[in-house]
Structure 1
Amino acid sequence: MAGRARTAFRRWRARRPFWGGLLLTLGGAEVLLTEKASMKVVLHIGMQGLAGYLLPAVMLLCGLLLLFNPAQRLFYSIVGVLVSLGTWLTSNLGGFLIGLLLGVTGSCLAFGWLPDQEPRRGLRRRRHAGPPATGPTTS
């Protein structure tokens, strides 16, 4: 039973930019959790205070959308990297740099992911397969 679930999860993960979406989601969550201003202060400050909560929420949303709607990965990853960079100014230096770096790294991974790329074989499988076959060489 656990083997089937693991295989199903691996198949699901292979069809989407999993690590990019996960890192972007974690970056947005980290920035949101390090935000210490109360809503009373945010409403008093105005738009700058609201952006401190809005940008990490958009990061979190883009990360989840990358996981569950990978067809639009280019748009979500571009929005994700721009919003991640915006948290530098609005949210405690991007969640003390951790959330900023997670968001930018995840967005870049999602942008570079190719859906039709063949999955990589593990190191053990490569060892058991032997050396790659080469054709006859002519001089």
Structure 2
Amino acid sequence: MLMPGRSRGDFRRWRAGRPFWGGLLLALGGVEILLTLKASLDVILHVGMQGLAGYLLPAVMLLCGLLILFNPAQRLFYSVIGVLVSLSSWLTSNLGGFFVGLLLGVAGSCLTFGWLPDQEPRVSRRQRRKEARSAKATSPAPQA
């Protein structure tokens, strides 16, 4: 039987070991650009370089986002490729998915590039308060 609390904890541990939000934003940027390429002709502002490059660059963005999630050891390479492809999608893919996909891709690539795997996890405010209360309760009261 699958326990909901355990699977959530497993997902948190998996997510903590990789640049999750950066990879997710980069992949979402690629998906958004691919969806705007399928928009009706009334919506499309800029067709781009006719065909293949318009579909290839968002597909590479999506692939880089997924590779960041599932192969975080090569995150620097994927993030550099992701930011270059995101910026070049402005020319080839309907103004970078009306700037939304372009901005998602650049933000995700920058988050991935700046992620440090050996950094200590942040302690939540609730945990810090709890530790402060327990330290205050265990410390002896000063005598005058």
Which TM bucket (shorter chain)?
0.7 to 0.9
Q: Residue 70 of structure 2 corresponds to which residue in structure 1? A: 68
Quick one: which of 20, 26, 29 aligns to 2:28? Answer: 26
Q: Which amino acid aligns with 1:114?
A: L
Superposition misfits of 4+ residues, deviation over 6 angstroms: none
SS at match of 2:8: helix
Q: Residue 88 of structure 1 corresponds to which residue in structure 2? A: 90
Post-superposition Cα deviations, 1:74-103, rounded to whole Å, max 9, x if no partner, equal 000000000000100001110000000000
Shift of 1:48: 4.1
* Structure showing greater Rg: 2
Q: Residue 104 of structure 1 corresponds to which residue in structure 2? A: 106
Q: Residue 4 of structure 1 corresponds to which residue in structure 2? A: 6
Question: Residues of 1 paired with 2:128 and 2:110: CA distance?
Answer: 28
Quick one: which of 114, 117, 126 aligns to 1:115? Answer: 117
Question: Residues of 2 paired with 1:50 and 1:37: CA distance?
Answer: 16
Quick one: which of 8, 14, 17 aligns to 1:15? Answer: 17
Question: Residues of 2 paired with 1:34 and 1:49: CA distance?
Answer: 13
Q: Which amino acid aligns with 1:110?
A: T
Q: Residue 136 of structure 1 corresponds to which residue in structure 2? A: none
Task: Pick closer, same or farther for the CA change 1:127–1:37 going to 2, 3 Å.
Answer: closer
1:35 aligns with 2:22: no
Shift of 1:36: 3.2
Q: Residue 140 of structure 2 corresponds to which residue in structure 1? A: none
TM-score (norm 1): 0.85
Task: Pick closer, same or farther for the CA change 1:67–1:73 going to 2, 3 Å.
Answer: same
Structure number having the greater helix percentage: 1
Ranges in structure 1 where 5+ consecutive residues have no aligned partner: 39-44, 134-139
SS at match of 1:84: helix
Q: Which amino acid aligns with 1:14?
A: A
Q: Which amino acid aligns with 2:58?
A: P
SS at match of 1:130: helix
